[in-house]
Chain A
Amino acid sequence: MKAEVHHHNIEEHFVFSDTAKKSIFTVLVVGIILFVIGLALLAFGGDAHSHDSHALANNGSDFVTVSESHGHDHAHAYHWTNRLKVTLWHNSVFFIGLTVIGIFFTAIQYAAHAGWSALLKRVPEAFGSFLPYAAVLLIASFAWGYHEIFHWTDASLTDPNSPNYDPIIAGKKGFLNMPFYIARMFIFLIGWYAFYYFLRKHSLAEDLEGGTHRFWKMKVISTLFIIFFAITSSVAAWDWVMSIDTHWFSTMFGWYNFASWFVAGLAAITLAVLYLKDAGYLKAINESHLHDLGKFVFAFSIFWTYIWFGQFLLIYYANIPEETIYFVERLRSDQYAKFIFINLFLNFFFPFLALMTRDAKRKAVILKIVCYAVIIGHWLDFYLMITPGTLKEHGGLGFLEIGLALIYSAMFAYVVAQTLTKAPLIAKNHPMLQESLHHHI
């Protein structure tokens, strides 16, 4: 009888309302305006500023030159478009992370036989639909900016007869070479999309057919995806982010990137669920579901901190120059040092304290504030991974970066919302839907 009471609630179809479209377009327009202002400032007035910061950065640290002591700086004359290329790459990497975490979240629900999330599973599932767009943006920004972003792509570095020859980079040539790198990039993107395609196909077929047959298929696909993603997320982190600081490496880096992506993705899923609830959808989602999402964000903020700190402490304690250079470039730089502390505050102290109590995890307002903080925090985290190694003292965080992030967010939200309209908002034949409807903790 109880099931029937709920039954009329679960037939929900998301309509992409004009109000929602308007807010997304507002974000897009604001983003474009900021982006254009940023571009104009860079193209016509950025020079004086960059000279100032150059002097400041050099005052701050004598160590920065260690990584550049091979004398191949001339290949990297700074041009204002470098900053555009780097910020395009930064946003592409960050947003492809959010997208693929949507697929990953769906996969772990199936692999773990999680029942509580059955009601909201269409939301992370829809995140995956941004993957083709994110992939195109990623490939395009790589094609345009690879030379400025990835130092190792300079062929003269691995040529023993060249004055630029760099034995360290030459030693990494077996892995860091163009054909293999591009092949890997395509394996990741096509592989992730293939898993998304089949998960989505079975999920939609389940709506029509019912039964548990599709569920078991999705469980197998999910398990395989988790294995695939465990490897590819790490290698993608080395390729797309760590290889920027080509001489440097950290064995924690794959996990570190994954943790950053995952908690940002969880925050984005929570935000999407909260906004759908605000718009009158997902009526059956109760405080207990929000509590579980809140626990996810809380727990993985701590997980990220653990990984971040694990990487930092080992490098700090061992004090080996070729490792410490990574933190010297950031902590001893006037431009970047402040972001390290903002990063730790937004991604650890704030979510840790704000979401600690049970009541906080059950309140939509607090969850929303924390989720925004976590998403901004992890965007900054990727900024800190990518910008110092590429732009050095020329880096900045201004209209250009913020504008582009808003443009990406608007595109992401638009594509995800569009996908949500294409299928019932609640998978009514999910075998564990009743568990989710009666979820109570």
Chain B
Amino acid sequence: MAMEKDKHYLIGVFSDHDDLLHGIEDMRAKGVKIYEVYSPYPVHGLEHALGYKRSWMPRAAFAFGALGTTLAITMQVYMMAIDWPMIIGGKSYLAVPDFVPVSFEMTVLLAAFGMVGTFLVVRDLKPYKVPRIFDIRATDDKHIVAVDLAANSLSEEQITALFKEAHAEEVYRRDFEEDDKSTSFISYAVDLFTNGVTRSSRIPTHR
């Protein structure tokens, strides 16, 4: 039951990461748009080969850190000098050096929490997420390159030929049926509450 929303991918399997890196560079040079690469270990230079831009996440980290500093200073000034002024150790109410450790810790805490949250949101990681697994061997010993056919102007045959040229060991097509309604957090929670199972048990187990 093929639907308009269904996704069609061409999968290339590589064993050697040098083949992978050079293959990706060649294919991109010939106009293939690569959807994603899955590899069992970090491959040095892969982001470069894929042409990824620098991440904006350090800026988010700075923003969360600065928020932490601001909140910590505001909190301490309000508590120690406005709401309930107290003399501690003979210091003035606004004993700024005393505020430094707390401000530092709050900066680190908010930067860390903020980055975990940002990462979860950006990567769309959630407990009820049904991951799209292209090839389970990516967790073992193969590098998996996925090409979204809809996003490419080249035909399936042309891309297959390019994959072969780049020394892909195996090239095959993979289709994913899309759910009509994607799971919401509420339906996940109801499901969990009534059945005690999560939808992650529905992970496909191909190959």
Contact = CB atoms under 8 A, between A and B. Distances in A.
Interface of A: 309, 312-313, 316-319, 356-358, 440
Interface of B: 44-45, 54, 58, 62, 89-91, 97-98, 100-101
Given A440-B44, A440-B45, 14 more contacts: A309-B97, A312-B97, A313-B98, A313-B101, A316-B97, A317-B89, A317-B97, A317-B98, A318-B89, A319-B89, A319-B90, A357-B58, A358-B54, A358-B58
A131 to B, nearest CB: 37
A313 B97 contact: yes
B89 A313 contact: no
Contacts of A356: 62
Contacts of A317: 89, 97-98
A347 B101 CA distance: 19
A316 B91 CA distance: 9
Contacts of A357: 58
Contacts of A440: 44-45
A309 B100 contact: yes
A313 B100 CA distance: 9
5 contacts: A309-B97, A313-B100, A319-B89, A358-B54, A440-B45
A362 to B, nearest CB: 12
A39 B54 CA distance: 55
A26 B66 CA distance: 45
Contacts of A309: 97, 100
B113 to A, nearest CB: 20
Contacts of A358: 54, 58
A319 B98 CA distance: 13
A312 B100 CA distance: 12
A116 to B, nearest CB: 14
B59 to A, nearest CB: 9
Contacts of A319: 89-91
A250 to B, nearest CB: 16
Nearest to B101: A313
Contacts of A312: 97
A137 B97 CA distance: 39
Contacts of B90: 319
Nearest to A306: B104
A149 B89 CA distance: 35
A440 B97 CA distance: 40
A440 B44 CA distance: 9
A319 B97 CA distance: 13
